[in-house]
């Protein structure tokens, strides 16, 4: 009953804050909900000096929610499947090579650049943190967040060629980023003693390629069963079963559930599947169902992001480190994109200023916070959680609000 009450409170706050945003702020949901929740939480802080009832209630809710488990083990699969379902597979296939390089090479380069830069920055601030822990931070902050990116880019009116690159990269690079994070975490925590290049490559292959293969199998089976019947109710339930059972299987096999959900979502949402396995009525219901799931979970998720401010340790030096890290993270992402863009831009007709737009439009979000929360005290959890939170809030509120203006200024709106 306790978890039902907490869920009910979160849904109520999501509905209330969503209503306020639409009536007053009129911002994209992702940005509006994060901003309103932060303002609400700060208001609760201020009110606690007079009456701490609300403060204790909000703190109780956050203490009962394992953000990492809720996001990475439950919500992420649904959100990635919904995002992939509405992504144009044909256009993504045209851009598959740059998307693949951005999501692998780009994340690796960014991880090491950020880690090395933060090592020296933290030393200059008097925070003596081991390099391996800084690389761990680089791994958790490098992947762009598909949940934050999808809604904001569509509303910003980005050129389709650019949108598919950023969205495609975001759908895949979080799975790759999590594998890199887990590998470095194993080395940093000491459980990686004896880690060899072959062990790292094996982990990467099992997680990534295992996830891709599982996603292909799930997508094909869903297509097969939907093709045999014509009943929109059962077909919607089949897609839901794909996500839920697929996540359980991926967890059991120790392969990447996010990558599996992306692949299966792309296959089920492809034009071929829609034409051969879905009637127009089924297609409409499947799309509407997953749009509603996407909106509901996104709303709850960004309310939770705003409330996570309660778990931060307000150390002034940590906040300074976070503010300094913002331009470092942006610069390292820009550098990591230079080579891939240079290689593919002529052959695939990239829009002008692709590197700049992908840097500013590559938002960080809930995945980075969830990974930061999974750190241990020995790996500088408090420090990196504050730094991550500062970067994510800047990314959502500042980058998210200005990416449309940047696109307009560069005269790239369709």
Smallest Cα–Cα separation from 115: which of 387, 399, 363, 386? 387
Burial of 372 (0-12, 13-18, 19+ CB in 10 A): buried
The tens digit of pLDDT for each residue in 284-317 reads 999 999 999 998 998 999 999 999 888 888 899 9
Where b means 16+ CB within 10 Å and e means fewer, 320-344 reads: bbbebbbebbbebbbebbeebbeeb
Residue 350's CB: how many other CB atoms inside 10 A?
21
For residue 312, count other CB atoms closer than 10 A to its CB: 15
| pLDDT per residue as tens digits for the range 153-170 | 777 777 888 888 888 898
Residue 1 is predicted with a pLDDT of 63
Distance CA 26, CA 48 (A): 29
Length of the chain: 414
Return residue ranges of the chain for CATH 1.20.1530.20.
67-409
**Residue 346: what pLDDT?**
79
How many angstroms separate the CA atoms of 67 and 79, rounded? 15
What is the token pair recorded at 147? Answer: 């949940």
Nearest to 370 by CA among 39, 143, 157: 143
Half-sphere exposure of 234 toward its Cβ, with a 13 Å CA cutoff?
Answer: 10
Quick one: pLDDT at residue 194?
A: 52
Question: What CATH fold (topology level) applies to the domain 67-409?
Answer: Na+/H+ antiporter like fold (1.20.1530)
Which pLDDT belongs to residue 192?
A: 46
Report how far apart the first and last C-alpha atoms of the chain are (Å, whole number).
Answer: 50
* Residues contacting residue 167 through CB under 8 Å, at least 6 positions apart: 83, 87, 146, 149, 150, 153
Q: d(Cα 326, Cα 336) in Å, to the nearest integer? A: 16
Walk along the chain (414 residues) in steps of 10 and give the mean pLDDT of each run: 87 95 91 93 91 90 87 89 90 90 94 97 95 95 84 75 87 84 81 58 81 96 96 97 97 91 95 93 96 91 90 90 98 96 85 92 91 90 95 94 90 73
Geometric angle at alpha carbon 195, from 193 and 201, rounded to 5°: 160
- Structure token digits, residue 278: 């879905």
User: In this structure, how many other beta carbons lie within 10 angstroms of the beta carbon of residue 389?
Assistant: 22
Mean pLDDT of the chain: 90
Return the ∠ at Cα 290 (arms to 286 and 296), rounded to 5°: 150
Per-residue pLDDT reduced to its tens digit, 4-43: 999 999 999 999 999 999 999 998 888 999 999 999 999 9
pLDDT at 337: 95
Contacts of 52 (CB under 8 A, 6+ apart): none
Distance CA 247, CA 214 (A): 10
């Amino acid at each position: 009953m306790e978890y039902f009450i907490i869920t009910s409170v979160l849904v109520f706050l999501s509905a209330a804050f969503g209503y306020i945003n639409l009536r007053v702020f009129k911002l994209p949901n992702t940005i509006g909900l994060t901003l309103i929740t932060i303002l609400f939480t700060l208001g609760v802080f201020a009110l606690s000096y007079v009456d701490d009832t609300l403060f204790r209630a909000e703190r109780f809710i956050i203490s009962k929610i394992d953000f990492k488990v809720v996001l990475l083990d439950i919500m992420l699969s649904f959100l990635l499947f919904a995002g992939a379902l509405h992504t144009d597979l044909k256009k993504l296939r045209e851009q598959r090579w740059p998307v693949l390089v951005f999501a692998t090479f780009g994340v690796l380069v960014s991880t090491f650049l950020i880690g090395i830069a933060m090592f020296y920055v933290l030393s200059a601030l008097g925070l003596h943190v081991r390099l391996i822990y800084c690389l761990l931070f680089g791994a958790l902050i490098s992947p762009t967040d598909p949940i934050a990116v999808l809604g904001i880019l569509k509303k910003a009116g980005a050129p389709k060629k650019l949108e598919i690159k950023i969205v495609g990269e975001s759908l895949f690079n979080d799975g790759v980023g999590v594998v890199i994070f887990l590998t470095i975490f194993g080395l940093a925590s000491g459980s990686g003693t004896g880690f060899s290049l072959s062990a790292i490559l094996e982990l990467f292959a099992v997680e990534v390629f295992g996830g891709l293969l599982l996603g292909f199998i799930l997508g094909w089976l869903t297509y097969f069963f939907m093709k045999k019947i014509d009943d929109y109710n059962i077909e919607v339930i089949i897609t839901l079963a794909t996500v839920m059972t697929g996540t359980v299987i991926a967890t059991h096999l120790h392969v990447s559930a996010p990558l599996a959900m992306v692949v299966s979502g792309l296959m089920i949402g492809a034009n071929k599947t829609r034409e051969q396995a879905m009637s127009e009525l089924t297609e409409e219901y499947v799309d509407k169902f997953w749009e509603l799931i996407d909106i509901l979970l996104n709303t709850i998720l960004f309310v939770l992001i705003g409330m996570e401010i309660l778990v931060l340790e307000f150390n002034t030096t940590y906040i300074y480190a976070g503010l300094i890290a913002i331009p470092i993270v942006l610069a390292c992402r820009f550098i990591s994109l230079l080579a891939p863009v240079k290689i593919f831009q002529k052959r695939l007709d990239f829009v002008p200023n692709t590197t700049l737009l992908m840097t500013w439009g590559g938002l960080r979000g809930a995945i980075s916070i969830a990974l930061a929360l999974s750190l241990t005290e020995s790996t500088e959890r408090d420090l990196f959680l504050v730094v991550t939170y500062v970067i994510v809030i800047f990314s959502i509120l500042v980058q998210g609000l200005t990416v449309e203006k940047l696109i307009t200024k560069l005269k790239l709106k369709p």
